[in-house]
Amino acid sequence: PYYPLHLAYWHMTLQQRRFRNWVLKQSKGSVLDYGGGIGDLSLRLWRRGHKVTYLEVGGSQNMRFARFLFSRDGAEIKVMSLEELSKLDIYDTIVCIDVIEHVPDPKETIRMFHEHLSHHGRLIATNIFYNQANQKVARKRIVAKGHSATGLSRVFMREVGFRELNGFLWTKDS
């Protein structure tokens, strides 16, 4: 199966469209789309005038699809692979949607986000407190493989220097 099509289908659901529209409204300045998937959100952010960096697993189907989208629209979006984390800039907004539960070390990833956010920068993230054992099966997920408990907590997020504005939006306090 061609995974980008599964993601495109998921992103077209009413719930995801509403959430992504909210993300667009919350984003400010330069944006890092961490684990940007098929690039559709990066493209929408760029169209709204943001300076966007798209970051994804290098050489993946998702990255190839995103490059196609960006090229098709003439989008000036910086494309980076996970192997290039040392080259990240400072961002006003970092978006991490449906990704943190897939990374090998969520705590280190959150610390890295804090390092690369501007003063009072915003982190927009889902599944911060993902715990597969407590996951209620309220709806069928498209792809459930590769999800791991994050081990993150509100206490940890505060210790790192984030202040929660709501369940998905955090601001860098220090």
Question: Which comes out higher in pLDDT, residue 142 or 106?
Answer: 106
Mean pLDDT over the full length of the chain: 89
DSSP category for residue 30? S
What integer is the mean pLDDT of 68-83?
A: 97
Q: How far apart are CA 4 and CA 115, in angstroms?
A: 30
**Which of 86-90, 109-113, 125-129, 140-144 comes out lowest in average pLDDT?**
140-144
Which pLDDT band, with edges at 50, 70 and 90, does 119 fall under?
very high
Q: How far apart are CA 105 and CA 168, in angstroms?
A: 19
Q: Where are the beta strands (DSSP E) in 13-151?
A: 31-34, 52-56, 78-81, 91-96, 117-125
pLDDT value for 68: 97
What integer is the mean pLDDT of 30-50?
A: 97
pLDDT value for 132: 55
* Placement of tokens 């940890």 in the chain: 156
Q: How far apart are CA 40 and CA 70, in angstroms?
A: 9
Instruction: Please state, as a whole number, how many other Cβ atoms lie within 10 Å of the Cβ of residue 58.
Output: 12
| Strand (E) or helix (H) holding 106 | helix 106-115
Q: What percent of the chain has pLDDT over 90?
A: 67
What integer is the mean pLDDT of 41-70?
A: 96
What integer is the mean pLDDT of 60-80?
A: 97
134: exposed, middle or buried (C-beta count within 10 Å: 0-12, 13-18, 19+)?
A: exposed
pLDDT digits (tens, 9 = 90+) for 76-98: 999 999 999 999 999 999 999 98
pLDDT value for 145: 58
Beta partners for residue 80, in sequence order: 55
Model's pTM, two decimal places? 0.88
Question: Which comes out higher in pLDDT, residue 98 or 116?
Answer: 116
